[in-house]
C-alpha cells in the first residue's frame, strides 16, 4: 500500500490551457511537415544553394523564381499557401495561450531559463500542472521520460535509452530549448561538455534533463537558483 503514485486529474482551467497548447503544437508540427515536403520537392528537382531561411520573406521570393517542372511548381505553391494559412492560425493561438498566464509566477520564472520563452514556458506550465505532486526534480524528469531505463540483475546494473514515458510535449519542449542555448550559459556549457564525451544526441538529452530540473524549481519556488554558473 502507498507504493503506487496517486492519480492526478487536472482542474478545468489547466485542461483548457492544455487544449490550446496542444492545438498550437499540432499546428507547428503540420507546418514543419509541409516545410520538409517543400525541401524534398526542391531536392528532387536538383535545386541547391537556397538560403537557410527559405521560408522567410527573402526566401519566398527566391522560391518563386526557381525554375521547376509544372507538377513540382504546383506542389510547392500549394504547400506555401498551406504554410501561410497555418502561420495565421499559429499567430492566433499564441496570444490565447500567453494571455492566460500573464499573472502566473511559475510561467514568468521558467522564462528566466535559457532557451525557454513564452511559448515553451506555457507548454511546461500546462503539461506539468500542479508541480507540488512531485516531491523532487528527479520525479519530474522521470515523469517526462527523460531518465534512462534501469536494468538490474544480481550484481550487474545496466542503463539503457531514456524511457520516453510521460508527456511527449514536455520532452519536445525541453529538447527544443536546449538546442537554443548558448555555450556561455551553465546549461550550454554542460551540454557541450557531454557532447565532447558522449556525442551530440546524448548531450541534448542530458541537458534537457537538467533543464527540466530547473523548470521544477521555477514552478515550485518561482526562481531558479541552480542556473548560476
DSSP assignment of 45-105 equals: TT-----S-TTSHHHHHHHHHS---HHHHHHHHHHHHHHHHHHHHHHHHHHHHHHTTTT-H
pLDDT tens, residue by residue, 157-196: 455 566 667 788 999 999 999 998 988 888 899 899 999 9
pLDDT tens for each residue of 111-138: 999 999 999 999 999 999 999 999 999 8
Reported pTM? 0.85
What does the domain layout of the chain look like in residue ranges? Answer: 12-99, 105-227
Does the pLDDT at position 228 exceed 90?
no
Amino acid at each position: 500500500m502507498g507504493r503506487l503514485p496517486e492519480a492526478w486529474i487536472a482542474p478545468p482551467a489547466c485542461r483548457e490551457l492544455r487544449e490550446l497548447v496542444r492545438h498550437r503544437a499540432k499546428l507547428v508540427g503540420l507546418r514543419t511537415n509541409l516545410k520538409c515536403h517543400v525541401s524534398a520537392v526542391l531536392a528532387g528537382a536538383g535545386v541547391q544553394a537556397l538560403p537557410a531561411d527559405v521560408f522567410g520573406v527573402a526566401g519566398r521570393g527566391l522560391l518563386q523564381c526557381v525554375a521547376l517542372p509544372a507538377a513540382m511548381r504546383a506542389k510547392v505553391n500549394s504547400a506555401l499557401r498551406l504554410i501561410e494559412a497555418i502561420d495565421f492560425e499559429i499567430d492566433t493561438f499564441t496570444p490565447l495561450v500567453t494571455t492566460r498566464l500573464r499573472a502566473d509566477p511559475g510561467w514568468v520564472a521558467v522564462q528566466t531559463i535559457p532557451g525557454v520563452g513564452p511559448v515553451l514556458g506555457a507548454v511546461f506550465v500546462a503539461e506539468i500542472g500542479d508541480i507540488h505532486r512531485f516531491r523532487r526534480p528527479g520525479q519530474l524528469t522521470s515523469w517526462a521520460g527523460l531518465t534512462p531505463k534501469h536494468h538490474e540483475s544480481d550484481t550487474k546494473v545496466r542503463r539503457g535509452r531514456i524511457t520516453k514515458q510521460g508527456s511527449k510535449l514536455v520532452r519536445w519542449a525541453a529538447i527544443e530549448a536546449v538546442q537554443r542555448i548558448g555555450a556561455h550559459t551553465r546549461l550550454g556549457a554542460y551540454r557541450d561538455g557531454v557532447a565532447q564525451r558522449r556525442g551530440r544526441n546524448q548531450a541534448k538529452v542530458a541537458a534537457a534533463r537538467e533543464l527540466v530540473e530547473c523548470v521544477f524549481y521555477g514552478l515550485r519556488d518561482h526562481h531558479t537558483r541552480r542556473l548560476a554558473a
